[in-house]
Chains A and B, each alone.
Chain A
Amino acid sequence: MTNHWRDIRHADLIMINGGNPAEAHPVGFRWFMKAKVDRGAKMIHVDPRFTRTSAVADKHVRIRTGTDAAFFGGLIKYVLDNKLYHDEYVREYTNAAFVVAKDYSFKDGMFNAFDEETGAYDATKWTYETGSGGQPSPKGLGKTTKKATGLTWSAGPDAPFASIDIDHPRSVLNLMRKHYARYTPEMVERITGIPRDDFLEVAKLVGEMGRPDKVMTQVYAVGLTHHTTGSQMIRAGAVLQLLLGNIGRPGGGMNAERGHANIQGNTDNAISWEILPGYLKVPAPGQRTIADYVEESASKKAHPRALNFFGENYGKFMVSTLKAWYGDKATKENEFAFNYLPKPAGNASWISIFDQAIEGKMEGLMLSGMTASSIGPDTNQVQRGLANLKWLCIMDSLPTTTSEFWHAPGADPSKIDTEVFALPCTHWIEKDGSFTNSGRWSQWKDAVLPPEHESRHDHWILAELFLRVRELYRREGGAFPDPVMDMTFDYGDPAKPTLDEIAREVNGKDLKTGKRLESFLDLLDDGSTTTGNWIYVGSYPESGNMMQRRNGVQDPKRNDPTGMGFYSEWAWSWPANRRVLYNRASADPQGRPWDPKRPGIEWDPAQKLWVGDVPDYLPDADPSDADAPLPFIMTGEGTGRLFSNGLVDGPFPEHYEPIESPIENPLHPEVSASPAAYLYDKAAGRPNRFGNVDEFPYVATSYRLTEHEHYVTQHVERLVKLQPEAFIEIPEELAREKGIETGDMVRVWSKRGKMEVRALTTKRLGPQVIDGRKTYQIGIPIHWGYVGIKTGQHWLANALTPFVGDATVRTPEFKSFLVNVEKI
């Protein structure tokens, strides 16, 4: 989330796409209801299903799954056509006025720079025109300013900045107008199934949110991410929010409702193939030095008034991380042990792991608190991958479908040669440590209970294993042992580090004084500072563990002096305890809040400081200075990006059909699905596992229920009693056609697998007309398997889902695929 849960109460309009917070995040949803009840906010729910969220929304629009980019595209067009965007914000705070390079094009569904051979775009070609023809640097620029904060920023008049001219035919704004001209209400209706009048009713409400005194929050969950076009759907929402001037403002923002207790924190801490802690890019082959790495990874300054904070400091963050990992062995002479960091050949994300296993290239897999068999996608393929491993290690507190995959229903254990270890681990409540919630609040918890039975902490198991592997290398030698031998292990008991010790390592310190750092501004690239994760610097300074703070609603006067709900002494939020990201954009160029009733930060001329939330800006940068930095300090542009080369499938979001779709894309039937989506089976030369609409006429989408979390709750008796059995939801009209009644056993199958479960017929999933064709959507809750209290239910929902990933992030398309249904 750019904002946080409690902040949603400040919204005038709450737009929810691909989420069902009333059921999936019920306690977070209280802040949505507060906005509605206390200040009359409107709520729009855009979802294939009518859920409990829809029931309290002012408007539910039924959308065909996988088409949110078209919906947002329609809204973008509406806002542009009717000049409802926040004009000053768009001009000053976004890259609307940047001129795009000449070779940009979009024709028949294809952007420029596509390589047919590799099936990928060269995103670096989506860039700005530079040099002559652009607006000269504003007066007074070109000097170097050292602010009281110690931050330096500079602008040379010779730098190749972007040309700025909002009236240029190739300005971002004008290219956007052209790009989205195709997204008429009629086109939106053909693609999404949302009737024109309903769409226009929504558009009218959304359009009002471009006023400076109004603000909309955009909320989403995995209903937007689990598509081959998931990242672009989210970007489309963000583009709309930038046009409306709603990013950076209390009550606004792009807010992802994350599904697991510490999914945010584990992303921050980079258990993720493409990043190192703090969202530093993982090094790539060919980079030999820190300078190579920074050159290829960090954003470049594209505007003279851009602070480009992340880009300018990239090297400091990287060097300090290497110092945390390799201590004295990381020296200036050896490029701070940069060669110790592994450089991946290509994508190494979730589906890729099983793709490699199927191909016999993966020997071992360690899973902690994750069950691949249930997670999928395409469980039958995943199980084949697991059976192809030499060894598999499950670290969990309870049995999982993967720990038991070798004797799953239908499997023959004698034919499965995978060696399996199941290691009992402690529960969250048996250890301390911090969880970071969706709103980036890192909250420390106590160890409440001692470990049960023989269970051990995950991190102690990992420490033991690492130390044993190190000992084997010491005795036997082997492949490049140095990174294993030299890794820092500065813990009281190396085999049993405490989470408190690790939290201090994450925070980092000054090696000269030995003191822990207060701020990431103190990080240096000379090897004199360490941090495990630069965005968590300040979470545990010398004064103590900030994540443990508990000054909450027991004393609102003291703990929430602005009344805006920042509660800055409750736990700690990254970065720098900031509660709303990009909050400089909550005030106008002069530093006055766009809406004085809902200030984020504001310039106090008396103190010569920004006050309110922790500013996402230089705290003493006077807005009346001609060279005051632009508001988005993290980007090379200094602005929000309506046009971006951050994603690999297009600089503007475009609607593409799901890989399995009932129609050809009405925008460009020749390029129906995303040309950059990654088709694993095709790439590996395996047979096609996609179905077509003739054989599989129904659109299916998977989802979660309030009473279960993924699969672990199959072990919780009370929750199993509340939701005891697998089922699918079938629209009443289709059920009548098929002679199916609630409670009947039905078979639902895709090209890849099947389930035999009970039917629940419902009005919640009505038929839609998609491009002139009557279309039904089937709903499939995911929670059941062959492990748990009720083991009679052994059907895994993800047996149905396709083995295909989003172009940029390779998120599987769990939410849109084709099935058939029959009564058994």
Chain B
Amino acid sequence: MPDLTRREILKAGAAGAAVAGFSSLGFDVAVAEATTVKQELRIEGAKVSHSVCPYCAVGCSLLAYTRKNGKDTELLQIEGDPDSPVNGGTLCPKGASSMELAVSRRRLKHPLYRAPGAKGWKRVSWEFALDKLARRIKDSRDNTFVTVDEDKNVVNRTDGIAFAGGAAFSNEEGYFATKLMRGLGLVYLEQQARV
């Protein structure tokens, strides 16, 4: 089939299906056209951004429609990007629900801290969390740092801290994490590939 936009496909279908009411594509053209009109209204004037699906590594391109409401940005719709040579506008159930992952009332809202032996979380400030963690990293690095190993080799490594970074990191975040963790001397470095 020549490359047509979705709207052109609907029109082509309408012309060919004037009598039957159903297009060769197998759906009711009148309903489809009505749907198109509704969607146009819902995203009318919306800003279109480009994203990539956060789930598997097929790498489906997404179009995300947002609108500013005062200070807030409202996510109106996520759909497959028809221009992509990978997904050509299509998405699977997970990708099609990615809006529910993007905007969720279940999100962690603020830093939480659980003291040793404590039965619950305590809400803390970023300043508290970052300061305390930096202290923990420094102390564990100092405690477990090996400058020279048993064979007198210079090894300069931190044996007592591990970092594992998620497969939802962009390349740039992943690279940055690698750089910083190696800089701290970490050798226990891992991500999702093995597991």
Does B82 lie within 8 Å of A554, measured CB to CB?
yes
Does B56 lie within 8 Å of A342, measured CB to CB?
no
For residue A437, give the distance in angstroms from its CB to the closest CB of chain B: 3
CA distance A557 to B97 in the complex (A): 33
- Interface residues in B81-98 by Cβ distance below 8 A to A read 82-88, 90-95, 97-98
Encoded as 1 (CB less than 8 Å from any A CB) or 0, chain B from 115 to 147 comes to 111111100001001111111111011111111
The reply to whether the CB of B30 lies closer than 8 angstroms to some CB of chain A is: no
CA distance A464 to B126 in the complex (A): 10
Kindly identify which residue among B50, B55, B186 contacts A261, using a CB–CB cutoff of 8 Å.
B55
Does B173 lie within 8 Å of A812, measured CB to CB?
no
For residue B86, give the distance in angstroms from its CB to the closest CB of chain A: 5
Q: Which residue of B lies closest to A453 (CB)?
A: B109
* Interface-side segment among A125-133, A178-186, A348-356, A658-666: A348-356
Interface size on B, residues (CB 8 A): 119
Kindly identify which residue among B107, B126, B140 contacts A398, using a CB–CB cutoff of 8 Å.
B107
For residue A726, give the distance in angstroms from its CB to the closest CB of chain B: 18
Q: Which residue of B lies closest to A539 (CB)?
A: B171
The reply to whether the CB of A291 lies closer than 8 angstroms to some CB of chain B is: no
Q: Which residues of B contact A706 (CB under 8 A)?
A: 92-94
The reply to whether the CB of B73 lies closer than 8 angstroms to some CB of chain A is: yes
The reply to whether the CB of A413 lies closer than 8 angstroms to some CB of chain B is: yes
The reply to whether the CB of B153 lies closer than 8 angstroms to some CB of chain A is: yes
Does B116 lie within 8 Å of A418, measured CB to CB?
yes
CA distance A425 to B146 in the complex (A): 32
Does B176 lie within 8 Å of A350, measured CB to CB?
no
CA distance A350 to B167 in the complex (A): 14
The reply to whether the CB of A824 lies closer than 8 angstroms to some CB of chain B is: no
The reply to whether the CB of B179 lies closer than 8 angstroms to some CB of chain A is: yes
Does A448 lie within 8 Å of B169, measured CB to CB?
no
Q: Which residues of A contact B82 (CB under 8 A)?
A: 553-554
* Interface-side segment among A60-68, A362-370, A735-743: A362-370
For residue B61, give the distance in angstroms from its CB to the closest CB of chain A: 7
Does A719 lie within 8 Å of B166, measured CB to CB?
no
Q: Which residues of B contact A353 (CB under 8 A)?
A: 162, 164, 188, 190
Q: Which residues of A contact B62 (CB under 8 A)?
A: 445
CA distance A413 to B117 in the complex (A): 6
Does A433 lie within 8 Å of B136, measured CB to CB?
no
Does A422 lie within 8 Å of B177, measured CB to CB?
no
Does A709 lie within 8 Å of B192, measured CB to CB?
no
Does B50 lie within 8 Å of A325, measured CB to CB?
no
The reply to whether the CB of B32 lies closer than 8 angstroms to some CB of chain A is: no
The reply to whether the CB of A462 lies closer than 8 angstroms to some CB of chain B is: yes
Does A375 lie within 8 Å of B137, measured CB to CB?
no
The reply to whether the CB of B29 lies closer than 8 angstroms to some CB of chain A is: no
Does B149 lie within 8 Å of A345, measured CB to CB?
yes
The reply to whether the CB of A263 lies closer than 8 angstroms to some CB of chain B is: yes
Encoded as 1 (CB less than 8 Å from any A CB) or 0, chain B from 58 to 85 comes to 1111101010000001010000001111
Q: Which residues of B contact A225 (CB under 8 A)?
A: 194
- Interface residues in A250-307 by Cβ distance below 8 A to B read 257-273, 276-277, 282, 285-286, 288
Q: Which residues of B contact A709 (CB under 8 A)?
A: 55-56, 94
Q: Which residue of A lies closest to B104 (CB)?
A: A715
- Interface residues in A454-502 by Cβ distance below 8 A to B read 454-459, 461-466, 468-469, 471-473, 476, 478-480, 483-484, 487, 497, 499, 502
The reply to whether the CB of B100 lies closer than 8 angstroms to some CB of chain A is: yes
For residue B113, give the distance in angstroms from its CB to the closest CB of chain A: 6
Does A570 lie within 8 Å of B56, measured CB to CB?
no
The reply to whether the CB of A419 lies closer than 8 angstroms to some CB of chain B is: yes
Q: Which residues of A contact B183 (CB under 8 A)?
A: 325, 340, 466, 483-484, 487
Size category of the A interface is 35 or more
Kindly identify which residue among A363, A449, A478, A712 contacts B75, using a CB–CB cutoff of 8 Å.
A449
Does B162 lie within 8 Å of A365, measured CB to CB?
yes
CA distance A456 to B94 in the complex (A): 25
Kindly identify which residue among A449, A462, A809 contacts B176, using a CB–CB cutoff of 8 Å.
A462
Contacts A269-B178, A466-B180, A478-B141 hold; do A423 and B129 have CB atoms under 8 A apart?
Answer: yes
Does A27 lie within 8 Å of B91, measured CB to CB?
yes
* Interface-side segment among A84-92, A187-195, A388-396: A388-396
Q: Which residue of B lies closest to A267 (CB)?
A: B193
For residue A495, give the distance in angstroms from its CB to the closest CB of chain B: 10
Does A455 lie within 8 Å of B190, measured CB to CB?
no
Does A554 lie within 8 Å of B162, measured CB to CB?
no
Query: Which residue of A418, A427, A429, A499 has the most chain B CB atoms within 10 A of its CB atom?
Result: A429
Q: Which residues of B contact A473 (CB under 8 A)?
A: 138
CA distance A462 to B137 in the complex (A): 12
Contacts A261-B55, A715-B106 hold; do A421 and B129 have CB atoms under 8 A apart?
Answer: yes
Q: Which residues of B contact A375 (CB under 8 A)?
A: 195
Does A262 lie within 8 Å of B167, measured CB to CB?
yes
The reply to whether the CB of B21 lies closer than 8 angstroms to some CB of chain A is: no
Q: Which residues of B contact A437 (CB under 8 A)?
A: 52, 57-59, 86
CA distance A6 to B87 in the complex (A): 9
Does A273 lie within 8 Å of B189, measured CB to CB?
yes
Does B106 lie within 8 Å of A342, measured CB to CB?
no
Q: Which residues of B contact A560 (CB under 8 A)?
A: 85
The reply to whether the CB of B108 lies closer than 8 angstroms to some CB of chain A is: yes
Contacts A370-B191, A465-B133 hold; do A431 and B113 have CB atoms under 8 A apart?
Answer: no
For residue B103, give the distance in angstroms from its CB to the closest CB of chain A: 8
Encoded as 1 (CB less than 8 Å from any A CB) or 0, chain B from 156 to 182 comes to 111111111111111111111111111
The reply to whether the CB of B31 lies closer than 8 angstroms to some CB of chain A is: no
For residue A141, give the distance in angstroms from its CB to the closest CB of chain B: 39
Contacts A271-B165, A365-B161, A370-B165 hold; do A487 and B180 have CB atoms under 8 A apart?
Answer: yes
The reply to whether the CB of A197 lies closer than 8 angstroms to some CB of chain B is: no
Query: Which residue of B100, B131, B183, B189 has the most chain A CB atoms within 10 A of its CB atom?
Result: B183
Does B184 lie within 8 Å of A469, measured CB to CB?
yes
Q: Which residues of A contact B141 (CB under 8 A)?
A: 469, 478-479
The reply to whether the CB of A397 lies closer than 8 angstroms to some CB of chain B is: yes
Contacts A27-B60, A260-B57 hold; do A342 and B163 have CB atoms under 8 A apart?
Answer: no
The reply to whether the CB of B10 lies closer than 8 angstroms to some CB of chain A is: no
Does A716 lie within 8 Å of B109, measured CB to CB?
no
The reply to whether the CB of A26 lies closer than 8 angstroms to some CB of chain B is: yes
CA distance A409 to B159 in the complex (A): 31
Kindly identify which residue among A270, A433, A533 contacts B170, using a CB–CB cutoff of 8 Å.
A433
For residue B195, give the distance in angstroms from its CB to the closest CB of chain A: 5
Does A277 lie within 8 Å of B167, measured CB to CB?
no
CA distance A450 to B160 in the complex (A): 36
The reply to whether the CB of A656 lies closer than 8 angstroms to some CB of chain B is: no
Kindly identify which residue among B57, B90, B134 contacts A258, using a CB–CB cutoff of 8 Å.
B57
Contacts A464-B130, A469-B184 hold; do A261 and B52 have CB atoms under 8 A apart?
Answer: yes
Does B194 lie within 8 Å of A398, measured CB to CB?
no
Q: Which residues of B contact A258 (CB under 8 A)?
A: 56-57, 193
CA distance A396 to B169 in the complex (A): 11
Query: Which residue of A261, A263, A285 has the most chain B CB atoms within 10 A of its CB atom?
Result: A261
Query: Which residue of B86, B87, B117 has the most chain A CB atoms within 10 A of its CB atom?
Result: B86
The reply to whether the CB of A765 lies closer than 8 angstroms to some CB of chain B is: no
Does B3 lie within 8 Å of A427, measured CB to CB?
no
Encoded as 1 (CB less than 8 Å from any B CB) or 0, chain A from 434 to 448 comes to 111111011111111
For residue B67, give the distance in angstroms from its CB to the closest CB of chain A: 11
Q: Which residues of A contact B135 (CB under 8 A)?
A: 472
With A339-B154, A376-B195, A553-B85 given, name 15 new contacts (CB 8 A): A264-B57, A266-B169, A342-B185, A353-B164, A353-B190, A366-B163, A370-B191, A429-B75, A429-B102, A449-B73, A554-B3, A560-B85, A706-B93, A811-B195, A812-B195
Name 15 interchain pairs, CB-CB below 8 A, sorted by A. Answer: A6-B86, A261-B53, A350-B190, A364-B136, A370-B165, A391-B140, A414-B117, A424-B111, A434-B172, A443-B52, A449-B102, A463-B176, A502-B175, A503-B172, A553-B88
B residues with CB within 8 A of A? 3, 49-62, 64, 66, 73, 75, 82-88, 90-95, 97-98, 100-104, 106-121, 126, 129-138, 140-147, 149, 151, 153-195
Q: Across chains A and B, which 8 residue pairs bring their CB atoms closest together, nearest first?
A: A369-B166, A437-B59, A433-B170, A260-B167, A468-B134, A479-B145, A342-B157, A424-B108
